[in-house]
């Protein structure tokens, strides 16, 4: 059984994962409207992945005797001045999510809830991958600079960027 504090912390993470899905969805829509087919494809896939992260948390909370709270949807506030700005925001958001996961792990250890601690290790590893992916993309964008040909190739390549496998055992 989850403690009230841990249940509240997990539900807070449910909201963060839901917000992450919305952020990626907004980025996908912007990219699609700008003609960046590859970036849009990547962002739509990331949005789906973040939603799956949210669902995994919801199911875990309920399985542990807690009550998962389905969060309300908020429209993301993003700076759409350039695709580089968009990816910088993506990286900053992933760092924020990592900090939130780390705080959850801390709460689980304080509560001596080792089942939740074990469950959260998947998210810890996932965030390492998410931050690394965002950092790699930013490195590629910095290499491109203002080269339109490079941007074309980047947009074409990112749609084939290795998508992380979403855990189907939700």
pLDDT surpasses 50 at 18: yes
Residue 120 lies in a domain: yes
Q: Which two tokens stand for residue 67?
A: 């009550």
Residue 140 lies in a domain: yes
166 closest CA partner among 65, 63, 78, 47: 47
Q: Which two tokens stand for residue 80?
A: 């759409």
Residue 104 lies in a domain: yes
Residue range 73-100, pLDDT digits in tens: 889 999 988 888 999 999 999 999 999 9
- Write out the DSSP string of 67-125: ---PPPP-------S-HHHHHHHHHHHHHHHHHHHHHHHHHHHHTT-HHHHHHHHHHHH
What whole-number distance in Å separates Cα of residue 1 and Cα of residue 21?
28
Give the CATH number of the domain where residue 78 resides.
Answer: 1.20.1260.10
Query: In which band, very low, low, confident or very high, does the pLDDT at 58 lie, cut at 50, 70 and 90?
Result: very high
Per-residue model confidence (pLDDT) at position 55: 98
Per-residue model confidence (pLDDT) at position 80: 87
Residue range 113-141, pLDDT digits in tens: 999 999 999 999 999 999 999 999 999 99
Average pLDDT over residues 23-41: 95
Q: Which two tokens stand for residue 99?
A: 């900090």
Q: At what angle do helices 37-63 and 4-33 cross, to 10 degrees?
A: 160
Please indicate if the annotation marks 17 as binding a ligand.
yes
Q: Kindly tell me the sign of the dihedral angle through the C-alpha atoms of 23, 61, 108, 3.
A: positive
Residue 74 lies in a domain: yes
Please indicate if the annotation marks 32 as binding a ligand.
no
Q: Where do we find the tokens 């290499």?
A: 143
Residue 164 lies in a domain: no
Residue 115 lies in a domain: yes
Please indicate if the annotation marks 50 as binding a ligand.
yes
pLDDT surpasses 90 at 110: yes
Please indicate if the annotation marks 72 as binding a ligand.
no
Average pLDDT over residues 38-45: 95
Please give the tally of structural domains in the chain.
1
Residues of the domain holding 82: 4-158
């Amino acid at each position: 059984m989850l403690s009230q504090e841990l249940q509240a912390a997990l539900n807070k993470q449910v909201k963060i994962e839901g917000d992450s899905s919305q952020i990626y969805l907004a980025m996908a829509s912007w990219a699609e409207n700008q003609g960046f087919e590859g970036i849009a494809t990547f962002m739509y896939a990331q949005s789906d992945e973040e939603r799956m992260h949210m669902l995994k948390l919801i199911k875990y909370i309920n399985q542990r005797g807690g009550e998962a709270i389905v969060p309300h949807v908020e429209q993301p506030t993003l700076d759409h001045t350039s695709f580089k700005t968009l990816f910088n925001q993506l990286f900053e958001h992933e760092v924020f999510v990592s900090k939130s996961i780390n705080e959850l792990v801390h709460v689980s250890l304080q509560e001596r809830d080792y089942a939740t601690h074990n469950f959260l290790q998947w998210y810890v590893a996932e965030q390492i991958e998410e931050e690394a992916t965002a950092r790699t993309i930013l490195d590629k964008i910095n290499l491109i600079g203002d080269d339109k040909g490079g941007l074309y190739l980047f947009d074409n390549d990112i749609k084939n960027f290795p998508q992380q496998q979403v855990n189907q055992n939700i």
